[in-house]
């Protein structure tokens, strides 16, 4: 088999495409849709053990793997991640509509996806992030202060686990719009964890997946079932 040369992704869409090239054929042969979601759960649970044992460096090392399985799940369901994340978070918190220093973690605000203000912001794509680092910066502007200074790392990570449960619920009920909204939330909290850890997810993901599988080191994965 000829090796495919994959360059470092720039946009979030290119990250999805790179993981698609490396893993889609392999995953279709070995894993169901539910299997891919379960792999995300396994990765998240593995880091819970590391947190319990106060080994945060293991969480740092595991984060790109969680991201990779999450991308595999999105690719299988043909979810355009940048599109659904922008729909939920158009450069602001969709609950309080603040673009910086959101503090609505302390309030019981409701998400209204058809809010006319949200629709207006979605249409203006001037500030839509492009790169994975751009997305991380956007979420840092919106939520970074409260996540860094108020919320504990455990609280931030538990929120990631909570959102994964929400993805699972909507997946189980085959609620497509719900899956897309919860996928956006899960992605936001992956970046929140990265911000809390002081990690640039783009750099960490490329170090783990430099255009190839992180285990067999092939541009098209040939690993046995995990």
Q: Global pTM?
A: 0.95
Residue 151 included in any domain: yes
pLDDT, tens only, 3-16: 677 899 999 999 99
Q: Select from 168, 163, 160 the least CA-distant residue to 38.
A: 168
pLDDT tens digits, one per residue of 56-79: 999 999 999 999 999 999 999 999
In a domain, 103, yes or no: no
Position 126 in a domain: no
In a domain, 52, yes or no: yes
Domain count across the chain: 1
Q: Give whole-number Cα distances, 18 to 30, 63, 155, 167, 210, in Å.
A: 19, 17, 32, 23, 10
Residues in the chain, pLDDT under 70: 1-3, 105-107
Q: Which two tokens stand for residue 115?
A: 């809010």
Residue 2 within a domain: no
- Position 80 in a domain: yes
Question: Is 29 inside a domain boundary?
Answer: yes
- In the chain, the percentage of residues whose pLDDT exceeds 90 is 85
Q: Would residue 192 count as lying in a domain?
A: yes
**pLDDT of 81-98, one tens digit each?**
999 999 999 999 999 999
Please give the residue range of the domain that contains residue 164: 12-95+132-208
């Amino acid at each position: 088999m000829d090796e495919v040369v994959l360059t470092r992704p720039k946009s979030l869409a290119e990250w999805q495409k790179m993981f698609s090239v490396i893993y889609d054929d392999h995953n279709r042969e070995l894993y169901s849709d539910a299997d891919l979601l379960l792999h995300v759960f396994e990765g998240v649970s593995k880091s819970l053990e590391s947190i319990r044992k106060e080994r945060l460096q293991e969480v740092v090392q595991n984060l790109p793997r969680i991201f990779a399985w999450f991308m595999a799940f999105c690719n299988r369901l043909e979810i355009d991640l940048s599109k659904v994340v922008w729909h939920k978070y158009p450069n602001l918190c969709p609950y309080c509509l603040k673009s910086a220093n959101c503090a609505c973690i302390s309030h019981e605000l409701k998400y209204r996806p058809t809010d006319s203000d949200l629709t207006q912001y979605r249409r203006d794509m001037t500030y839509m992030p492009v790169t994975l680092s751009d997305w991380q910066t956007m979420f840092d502007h919106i939520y970074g202060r409260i996540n860094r200074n108020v919320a504990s790392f455990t609280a931030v990570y538990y929120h990631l686990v909570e959102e994964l449960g929400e993805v699972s619920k909507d997946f189980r009920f085959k609620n497509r719009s719900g899956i897309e909204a919860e996928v956006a939330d899960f992605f936001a909290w992956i970046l929140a964890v990265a911000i809390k850890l002081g990690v640039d997810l783009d750099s960490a993901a490329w170090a783990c997946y430099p255009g190839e599988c992180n285990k067999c080191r092939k541009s098209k994965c040939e690993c046995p079932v995990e």
